[in-house]
A and B are shown apart, each in its own frame.
Chain A
């Protein structure tokens, strides 16, 4: 615990982290295949990747609910395999499935959870009120959980995860399954937590979520880390400033792509469109028209993390 720590303080450190699941009648499945990362106090750290990339498995190892399968992992300088309860006492976890008790009242869900940490009742009462106000559910405190909307349930799960005043808040796909409005409310609350200095770790397969919230992130694919850095950094490193998206009539994409050769710094053929990576999309578009191409639609946009992911893996994120 008293390791000399460089500033800013490293809270989580993983080296060659592995997780393998034994499977009946087949080869063991490697969900996490040796990853390295560090999370520092006060930052928002993201794991980005498609379903099955190993994000959730990594989160469960960080949350000390799945034993480390190989390599090394430490939180607060402690070993999760032997000091799980102590580490969990300092974490707040928002799992992918809310795991709320639907038949209990909103306030009682916070109460029973707080008791697991041994918090005194008056402290829980005061915190529950404060946290329910924070997640904008104070007026539903006495209602049962069942009728709440998906967004409300997720916010309640966030409030519950904060009841022990955690040093790190872990969120596994915090906005998956929520409608756009509900997602924005969650983002807004997470952004406030970030501003108050809470360390956040989140997984997502939404580009915009990662770009908006994360200070640093790793892109995961098939159990490995494909890239690591700040969102803007990654875009600068792996993509051009702009992307030109072109759609062509059915069957004409191949020929069009041949004509596009040499334009921009790179071409990417997707099933339904062609992406041209260039620093000036409009210039490329007029050049393409000059070569006699008539796309059905043409769109110039800024590069996103989606483009980074596509470049690194050759696949889109949400298949």
Chain B
């Protein structure tokens, strides 16, 4: 055993080394980072899938069927839709936001502080932007998977009223992406999980409650309207709702999409910049 050498013994091995010296372009490096997350996911997928399926079903039952029965007696929702049909697309978008924020927080902080995988990765051909994008890919995958499951339950409860509704899936992915990249841009700058709890309580919860998810935004006091219009979630909720109710209006859809894509471009740029600053300079 002590006579072991570490030099390459075979031609195949030497060829592999030769190939590993050439650094690929495009998204290959980011994909390798994504693969790392898939290895982790294989360990934890069971728990994730269970929550993903039971969460929405319980939610729609309690809010829509339970609470909704009381609300619907007043028949006061715009367009006369049922309360369940009203909140379901809102919760779809809000859940995407929530998943985006979660996926962009502990994964990043844990990789920096507890698991060390980011510090390991930067000693390989991985660049900070690959680390960032690969991590984001797994977040997007989860956001999308959870959205699909939720959308399935929504359809099961009869709240998808048009074929347009299918487009609520990419819309919620877009909404989730804005929060994912934004949260990643922030998480990569911190050193403890204290600030994360502040974000969950004082950013995520208010957004969840006041972005027109559970009641029409028109019910808010007038001074809060501009605040609602300024949040990405409001645009995500409205977009998602127009699609599942089958009432998309070209003008407002374009405004929502424009807003969300502009926000995405901004937070993507921020995430890229902050990952570089942290992973290349800080230590």
Contact = CB atoms under 8 A, between A and B. Distances in A.
A197 to B, nearest CB: 8
Interface string A135-166: 01010000000000000000000001110110
A116 B13 contact: no
B80 to A, nearest CB: 53
Interface stretch (B28-36, B140-148, B234-242): B28-36
B120 A66 contact: no
B125 A86 contact: yes
Nearest to B17: A165
A236 to B, nearest CB: 34
B195 interface: no
Given A98-B116, A108-B39, A123-B12, A130 B4 contact: yes
Contacts of B279: 65
B41 interface: no
A112 B280 contact: no
A164 B32 CA distance: 15
A185 to B, nearest CB: 11
Interface string B177-195: 0000000000000000000
Contact of B19 (A21, A93, A118, A134): A118
A63 B123 contact: yes
A86 B24 CA distance: 9
B23 A101 contact: no
A117 B125 contact: yes
A86 B124 contact: no
Given A101-B115, A193-B6, A65 B20 contact: no
A40 B28 CA distance: 33
B21 A89 contact: yes
Interface residues of A, number: 49
Given A67-B280, A67-B281, A118-B32, A113 B20 contact: no
A3 B5 CA distance: 31
Interface in A15-52: 21
A85 to B, nearest CB: 4
B257 interface: no
Contact of A136 (B1, B28, B117, B125): B1
A133 interface: yes
A126 B126 CA distance: 23
B69 interface: no
Nearest to A136: B1
A250 B23 CA distance: 64
A152 B77 CA distance: 65
B12 A116 contact: no
A164 B17 contact: yes
B127 interface: yes
B47 to A, nearest CB: 15
Interface of A: 21, 60, 63, 65-67, 84-86, 88-91, 93, 95, 97-103, 108, 111-113, 115-120, 123, 126-127, 130-131, 133-134, 136, 138, 160-162, 164-165, 193, 196, 198
9 contacts: A63-B123, A65-B122, A86-B23, A97-B119, A99-B120, A108-B39, A111-B39, A116-B125, A126-B13
